[in-house]
Amino acid sequence: MGVIPHVIAGAEVTDDVRTGPVFNPATGERIAEVGFADEARVAEAVAAAKAALPGWRGTGLVKRADVFFRLRQLLLERSGELAAIVTREHGKVLADAAGEVSRGLENVEFAAGLVHLLKGEYAEQVSRGVDVHSVKQPVGVVACITPFNFPIMVPLWMTASAIACGNTVVLKPSEKDPSASLFLARLFAEAGLPDGVLNVVHGDKVAVDALLDHPDVKAVSFVGSTPIAKAIYTRASANGKRVQALGGAKNHMVVMPDADLDAAADAAVSASYGAAGERCMAISVLVCVGDATADALIGKITERIARLKIGDGTDPASEMGPLITAEHRAKVAGYVTGAAAEGAKVVVDGTSQAFDGDGFFIGVSLVDGVRPGMKVYDEEIFGPVLSVVRVASYDEAVALINANRFANGTAIFTRDGGTARAFEAEAEVGMVGVNVPIPVPVGAFSFGGWRDSLFGDSHIYGPESIHFYTRSKVVTSRWPDPSESQVNLGFPSNH
């Protein structure tokens, strides 16, 4: 059983005082140890990033882009190997892991267009002999803190844009599945990225706090739960850093009476139970407009649940794998039993499903009669639990969504264009799907929610990431004829 190393200035380091276990969630086997960085180790990584900054910032844009073109090719060639690493440490099925790699690749492709993305603006002769131009410059050393549920996609959401903009990075992945980030760092190096531009440190809160407090870290990107996102935003911004901290979600899927109910049932099962519900964009609340809609959908979803294949993610027949840890499995199960105690009806109880072996498996659950005020509704579960809320009208559905403290994603299923268009305008949520249950934007757009799903004013990846990872500078220049030189104590005027 080996120790998964940090990567600092191109060197792989393993001599930590503290380590933590890495499990295969499908078997419960402890498969590796990962070093936990202390403050000194984090300082080494930040120093390496700071030392590499002038050289990388000074690298020509075309040469920077070449790194991303090569990285794209390496990711394509080795996507199967990377997906296997994700499945082994996270547990999601191989097809889902391959999809994660593909979505991460979109961000590499976006970053490869950096020559265009980093263009400024120019205005000639704004006043006699005066020109003005703007430039985008890197912010400096960036800390990227990523969650366990997407151990390759989310790091690529952050590192691709940050590095393309000329910054250097210290990446702190989840300690639960750290090998994908190590693999990514090796691929970046193979693509020609200079040592120190991307550093990887593993660890727990000690490492995170050290990054938030280090004076040479100028910006922080984070994806995780809402309580931690809020704490990171508060601490890092108090230290004068630019922060984007993406938090949790409670994504509602509204089904209108005129919807294709078979398509809606397929979408609800796929979006709720895929990756064992460990997605911040998973549908966790099914909002049925009318009892007839709810009754029909519950019947169709129950039929589909009975056919789901839950098992080891390496088995091609498996459609859903285990949860990340035994502790998380117990927490998810608690929401289902708690829902029954609060008066909801557990239509399908996945907590009672038995599995062979010591893996962290749990069955899927479907809970009807859920309403605000119940823990199963109010809190992010991050597991394969779908709650059904019954409402009488479209307006009641929208009011329910807009009253929720989370506002990451939402969706509506309907055949009516007017209803869909109204929903786009009236749902106060960062990402909206119309007959699309998981509306994660493609790499050329940006990802992020509102309210308690985002702390900071910038969404992640896409165009907003270029704004976040750069600072704008405006230069006003004048090259007058020496014969026209004169003293003028008045306020500068453009007339």
Rounded Cα gap, residues 376 and 374, in angstroms: 5
- What is the CA angle 311-96-20, rounded to 5? 75
Rounded Cα gap, residues 340 and 385, in angstroms: 13
| Catalytic pick among 144, 165, 280, 288 | 280
**Would you call 144 a catalytic residue per the annotation?**
no
Phi, psi angles (nearest 5°) of residue 453: -95, -5
Rounded Cα gap, residues 283 and 253, in angstroms: 6
Q: Tokens standing for 109?
A: 């492709």
Task: State the catalytic residues.
Answer: 280
